[in-house]
Amino acid sequence: METISPEEAVQKALGEPVFIEFPENTWKIRTNLVIISLISIAVVFGDLHIEPDSQIFGLKFRGLSDAVLTNSLIAIVVYLLAHFLWAAADSFLEWRVRITGTRLAFTTGSKWGSNHADYPDDPRQSSLYRWWTDHAPQFGVVTDHLKGFESRLATLEQQVSSAMRSTLAAEPQVQADAASIVTAIRETRDRLTHVEGSVRTAVEVVQSGRVPESLSRFDNWFAIFLRSQNLRWLVIDIGAPVLAAGYALVLLTQRM
């Protein structure tokens, strides 16, 4: 089985959240199952019977009786029901394979397993908002590193300047090289100061209350969307035809 990286798993989870969609062939099986089930229910409730002299499209069939009709409907419903459940299971497994990496990335494994996931103690608390609150403070670490680097450059500049003043008898070339080093250090420190300011601005934007609030609203509606389509799949796409077929089988069996 192809291994999905944590980055790809997160992209799948947020980029392709839509639940199972049946292939065209499965939809046809489902439609036929519903039609045959409704016909079977109508036959029982309408108390329909086969007359000995009845014709179908002008053709007469010998030996055609209520028992034959009932058994035929039972066989057709059982076949279509089994076929539909199998096809639905295949569709579910296909979707399950797609999200397996995502689920593992978010709720299982060691807490040190990935930098792109959240690992709450309660898996139900896994959300985009939770991930943001856990990882947004890490942006501030960059500023701390820049400050430390800038401090070391300042110390190095002082050491070089002190060495230049203490070596008055040094050769002019050495003095020139040392001056160039000090100039380069100052330019680097100025650039780091500029970068630090840009990073500080970015951190303030990232850690502002506006982003978590929007993420919280997004995550709530995203969860509602997922629950809605899961419920639709269970009740409408799967539950309705299965219940209709089961009810038809019960009625047909009682009629035998």
pLDDT digits (tens, 9 = 90+) for 75-120: 999 999 999 889 888 887 776 665 544 444 444 444 545 555 555 5
Burial of 54 (0-12, 13-18, 19+ CB in 10 A): exposed
Is 138-206 assigned to CATH 1.10.287?
yes
pLDDT tens digits for range 115-167: 555 555 555 455 666 666 666 666 656 666 667 777 777 777 776 667 666 65
- Whole-model pTM? 0.49
Domain range annotation of the chain: 6-126+230-255, 138-206
For the record, the structure tokens of 245 come out as 């077929």
Buried b (16+ CB within 10 A) or exposed e, 137-172: eebeeebeebeeebeebeeebeeeeeebeeeeeeee
